[in-house]
Structure 1
Amino acid sequence: MTDWDALIPGIDAALKKHMAWKSALLSALHSGTSEMSPYEAACDHACDFGRWFHGPDIPDAVRILPIYRRVAQLHAEFHANAAKVLLHATGGRKTEAREVLNGPFEAASAALMRALQDWKHDLSTAPRTGAALSPAAPPVAAAPAAPAMPPGHPPV
């Protein structure tokens, strides 16, 4: 197994775990409660994938690649939209929560899943130079800002 191949299990884990988010958000929408606060959901460094992705296991040679930057941007957008869903759902605004869930969150989720699949494909098929991995990744729009948190929440 090469260094590049060692990244694939982390990507596979992300694909599985992030698909479970919609179920958790739907549960929050229906119940009006969540074990996770919107503030926690907004932090893209706190989930298992985020800790791995931003942690020491990712070589610097990977961090400079366009596909890595694209996944980072989309992952932040995914979390910002998840936080918005929770903010509305736990604030009793089910209609707004459903609109974000079925609109911006769903779009961010689909884009992130596609980018993770692209990254995995690149890692499993590209020459091991690093430079060949997604050299022409499309630009990604800036992630939406995380929702404002109520007073009393500590900063990340």
Structure 2
Amino acid sequence: MDAREINKAMAAHGVWKVRLREAIESGQSEYQPQVVARDRECEFGKWLHSIPAGERPPEFWNKVQELHVCFHQEAGRILSLALSGEQEEALSLVGDLRGRFVTTSIELTNVLQAWKQVST
């Protein structure tokens, strides 16, 4: 287990919040919603799924994988709304503290932090 991969994942997924807000403001993005929605497209997703099954700590890997999928699905949905001119709805989803995107993002970060602590 590489703590650097977890650090990179947390940073990269934090950047998505900025990218989504920029897409909402401009109505444009260099990214395609259907690609963003796939959890295996980002570097962390590739790394996560490359861990051999026997080396995946189930107390962390399963939850991280589930949250990572949800994060990407929500990011893709928000980006799709932003690019289709539905800025108000997209902005409400990215900023709703009780919404799925925000709560998933927070929970993913928390589980990644816990995984990192036991692996170092």
Matched, 1:120 2:116: yes
Q: Partner of 2:107 in structure 1?
A: 111
Letter in structure 2 aligned against 1:123 = S
For residue 10 of structure 1, what is the aligned residue in structure 2?
5
Equivalent position to 1:27, from 2, 5, 22: 22
Judging by fraction of residues, say which structure has more helix.
Answer: 2
Name the SS for the 2:5 alignment partner.
helix
Q: In structure 1, list runs of 5 or more residues that go unmatched.
A: 125-156
Q: Determine the C-alpha separation between the residues in 1 that align with 2:80 and 2:55.
A: 34
Question: Would the aligned equivalents of 1:84 and 1:100 in 2 still touch at CA under 8 Å?
Answer: no
Give 2:68's aligned residue.
Answer: 75
Secondary structure of the corresponding residue to residue 26 of structure 1:
helix
User: Residue type of the partner of 1:92?
Assistant: G
What is the CA RMSD across the aligned residues, in angstroms?
Answer: 1.2
Distance in 2 between the 1:34 and 1:106 partners? 20
- Cα offset for 1:106? 1.3
Q: Which segments of structure 1 move beyond 2 Å, counting only runs of 4 or more? A: 59-64
Query: What is the CA distance between 1:61 and its match in structure 2?
Result: 2.8
Larger Rg: 1
Identity of aligned pairs, percent?
35
- TM-score scaled by length of structure 2: 0.91
